[in-house]
């Protein structure tokens, strides 16, 4: 769900001159930005299309690019050549890219900070990477994640339908672990770091993640052995990673 859209509206309409760029690392942040535009597309005091929008993957890039077809949003969105960082893949890598790219821009010399749209559960890769860079950062939470009320029933149904098959659980964000792990553990053995054998009562389940940040969180916070990490946060790379577990 979206949070504090009134604040985001105020920033977009009248505070654009305070920022030298925008950081958007999720599709939900793009959706929040555009929800404001859909509900009430007012005139902005300063166009956002002349400053860089830093993104973490191709999906977010595509969302922003596709929105260029909406003429009424032209002042709300960056020019296509100012959507940057799609190849980064992780927050840490994006922070390194920003540290190289942003200081070369005039807005950095003017002391303008970057606007970073986040959710309620933030892995910290971007702000951690920018902490000692001298680049100002303003975090604004625009969405919050919530647990699925039907997850346990949906998972149990999938287990019954796939009885006898090998199972792989794919984690797309560190926050999903709190909900998913207890449910998965009712049906499968989740390998901990250092675990070897299994039992006849429950089979093993293999673990895949969309990227290294999620893999690190599973290992550090839950002591879970991750079997494979997608090289990029995109469907093809994730599919290749999953297929590698069955070869």
- Please say if the pLDDT value at position 15 is more than 90: no
Q: Report the candidate in 69, 65, 13 with the shortest Cα–Cα distance to residue 39.
A: 13
- Please say if the pLDDT value at position 58 is more than 90: no
Exposed e or buried b per residue across 197-233, where buried means at least 16 C-beta atoms within 10 angstroms of its C-beta: eeeeeeebbbbbbbbbbbbbbbbeeeebebbbbbebb
Question: For 70-74, 130-134, 153-157, 204-208, which range has the lowest pLDDT when averaged over its residues?
Answer: 70-74
pLDDT in tens, 186-210: 999 999 865 555 555 789 999 999 8
- Please say if the pLDDT value at position 124 is more than 90: no
Instruction: Identify the sign of the CA torsion 233, 239, 242, 245.
Output: negative
- Please say if the pLDDT value at position 44 is more than 80: no
- The angle formed by the CA atoms of residues 235, 30 and 38, to the nearest 5 degrees, is 130
Q: Which domains are present in the chain?
A: 5-143 (3.40.50.10090), 150-240 (3.40.50.10090)
Cβ proximity of 9 and 36 under 8 Å: yes
- Please say if the pLDDT value at position 9 is more than 90: no
**Banded pLDDT at 103 (limits 50, 70, 90):** very high
């Amino acid at each position: 769900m979206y949070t504090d859209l009134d604040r985001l509206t105020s920033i977009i309409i009248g505070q654009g001159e305070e920022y030298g760029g925008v950081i958007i690392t999720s599709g939900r942040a793009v959706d929040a930005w555009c929800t404001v535009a859909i509900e009430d597309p007012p005139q902005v005091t300063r166009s956002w299309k002349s400053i860089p929008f830093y993104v973490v993957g191709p999906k977010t890039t595509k969302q922003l690019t596709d929105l260029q077809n909406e003429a009424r949003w032209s002042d709300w969105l960056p020019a296509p050549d100012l959507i940057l960082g799609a190849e980064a893949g992780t927050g840490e890598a994006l922070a390194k890219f920003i540290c190289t790219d942003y200081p070369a821009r005039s807005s950095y010399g003017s002391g303008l900070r970057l606007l970073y749209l986040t959710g309620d559960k933030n892995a910290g890769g971007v702000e951690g990477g920018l902490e000692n860079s001298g680049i100002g950062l303003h975090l604004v939470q625009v969405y919050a994640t919530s647990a699925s009320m039907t997850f346990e029933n949906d998972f149990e149904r999938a287990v019954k339908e796939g009885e006898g098959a090998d199972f792989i659980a794919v984690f797309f964000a560190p926050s999903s672990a709190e909900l998913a792990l207890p449910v998965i553990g009712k049906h499968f053995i989740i390998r901990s770091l250092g675990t070897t054998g299994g039992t006849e009562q429950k089979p093993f389940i293999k673990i895949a993640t969309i990227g290294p940040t999620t893999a690190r969180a599973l290992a550090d916070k839950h002591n879970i052995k991750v079997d494979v990490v997608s090289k990029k946060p995109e469907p093809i790379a994730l599919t290749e990673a999953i297929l590698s577990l069955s070869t």
